[in-house]
Amino acid sequence: MDVKNRAIFISFDGVAVSGITVEAAKLASCLNQRGFESFIDLGFDIKIDKGNFGRPYTQKEKSAFGQIFTVVRATGEGELPGYTPYFIEDVNNLLINGSIPSSEEKKARKLADVHVVADALSERIVATWRELGITHVVVENGTLPENIVYTHALYKAIAAYGEENGLGCFVLWRDHDLMWNSETACGKYGGEPWPYAVKPIPTKYINYVTLNDALASKLSEWSGVNIDVMRNCYCFEGDKKRKSLRPEFGISENDILIARTTRLVPVKRLERDIYLTKKLNELCVKNNKEPCVYLIIAGGEQEDARYFRYLKDYVSELGMERFVHFIGALQHDFIDESGDAYTVQDLYESCDIVSFLTSYDYDSYGNPIGEAISHQRCYIATHYEYYDEVYGQYGFQTELMTISADQDGWPDDDFVQRVYGLVADKSKREFIAKHNFHIGEKLISNKIFGHVFNV
């Protein structure tokens, strides 16, 4: 076996394309430029609530990342006896969310079963790493207790593989979401102190990172382990030629285009964007302003077909078919370099404003905001729980929609008027975009990736 560096990314997200796998692809692209070969496990054998557990990858999923990744399964092919969605769900209900009341004795027996299955899983993981000649591992979102069986298996595999090969620090463990900032309203992951969630362990093999100081501080306090901060990062160079989407949708250069790039699921609250677009157009008419306001929504339409139908029906109900366009999922241009299809970057380049009107307690980062900043575009956003921690404290300028855990509804008249102020004032948009760009260059540029794994 040659000594080329080979990294395997293991995503706990359970879908091919998501914010987490895009961040993984950014890092892998940087590593590949430094001589690495990169693989990714999409988490189809980890997460059970996305409907993909155990399903073979489609050709589309295998090719979703172009030349950046080879898509693999870290546990190999074939079922593992006892490792089933039913078993994982039972573990979650007994040990994580507590939806099945159980005695301490029953919980102890279930935890013992977890370790038996995790031991077998870890052996398969190590065998895959050996076969691929893996030198580095990146775990994406492994602490959130979606599947503690797999998390235990990973820790066992890391220890065994590290000892077997005499390795130093060869794992980057990056937590994007944690129990205290993800779906807290529904109690999906139970409550503090999360006794059966797997805490980061002190080991020479792993460098733990999370996305912001608040998450790092609380994770360190909970686990007793040092946690570094590694922000999501974006390309600020802007040296690629972009294609405009405006002509295809009959949008003139004088019209205002709002872009929303996201998963089409209820927690992303896309109905707010549709409502806002309606209200902005009404104000344009009222004030005899020339531009119309258009909304283009880019996101996979199959993840939640019922919600997608609701959004389409809502557009029709408001009579907004001319102004609201769903264009399906777009790839990032650092993944699809063919230049044939529209990319996320093409949409950002075509738009005037990027929107991120997400729910209060769902997002711990907010990638579309960072992408807007790096493209020198204004953004609008809700004042979601982690907005100040990620962006607000650094002086980025925007118009924020006030929300809270208890008040997470529709845009009010004040917010609509403030956004209209951006719509009607091009010089204001340009000033804000440049201001934010200069801050972002120092804070969230992808140059930070050059320090990962010291390569």
Q: What is the CATH number of the domain that holds 355?
A: 3.40.50.2000
Same domain, 265 and 198: no
Per the model's pLDDT, the better-predicted residue between 44 and 18 turns out to be 44
Is residue 30 domain-resident? yes
Residues 173 and 299 in one domain: no
Q: For residues 46 and 140, state if they share a domain.
A: yes
Note the pLDDT tens digit of each residue in 330-353. 988 888 766 678 999 999 999 999
In the chain, the number of structural domains is: 2
Q: Which two tokens stand for residue 90?
A: 């039972």
On whether both 251 and 225 belong to a single domain, the answer is: no
Residues 275 and 213 in one domain: no
pLDDT at 450 over 70: no
Do both 165 and 257 map to the same domain? no
Note the pLDDT tens digit of each residue in 132-159. Answer: 999 999 999 999 999 999 999 999 999 9
39 and 77 part of one domain: yes
Alpha-carbon distances, residue 354 vs 33, 47, 258, 365, 399 (angstroms): 30, 30, 6, 15, 11
Name the β-bridge partners of 209: 174, 228
Q: Look up residue 288 and give its two tokens.
A: 């005899």
Q: Which of 195, 229, 263 is the last residue of a domain?
A: 229
Residue 454 lies in a domain: no
User: What residue numbers bound the domain in which 169 lies?
Assistant: 6-229
CATH number, domain with residue 39:
3.40.50
Say whether both 254 and 153 belong to one domain: no
Q: Are 69 and 125 part of one and the same domain?
A: yes
451 occurs within a structural domain:
no
In a domain, 73, yes or no: yes
**3-state secondary structure string across 34-71:** CCCEEEEECCCCCCCCCCCCCCCCCHHHHCCCCCCCEE
pLDDT in tens, 368-404: 999 999 999 999 999 999 999 999 999 999 999 999 9
Same domain, 151 and 260: no
Mean pLDDT within 424-442: 97
With tokens 């992951």, the residue in question is 189
Q: What is the pLDDT of residues 158-169, one digit of tens each?
A: 999 999 999 999
128 lies in a domain?
yes
CA distance 439 to 256: 25
Quick check: is 284 in a domain? yes
Residue 251 lies in a domain: yes
Q: Is 210 found in the same domain as 253? A: no
Q: 407 and 262, same structural domain?
A: yes
Query: Tell me, what's the pLDDT at 340?
Result: 79
Confidence of residue 289 (pLDDT cuts 50, 70, 90): confident
Question: 178, 202, 229 — which closes off a domain?
Answer: 229
Please name which of 84, 60, 123 lies closest in space to residue 42, comparing C-alpha atoms.
60
- Cα torsion through 336, 340, 341, 342, rounded to 10: 90
Is residue 144 in some structural domain? yes
Give the tens place of pLDDT for each residue, 199-248: 999 999 999 999 999 999 999 999 999 999 999 999 898 777 889 999 99
> How many residues are given for the chain?
455
Among the candidates 229, 256, 287, a domain finishes at 229
The pLDDT value recorded for residue 66 is 86
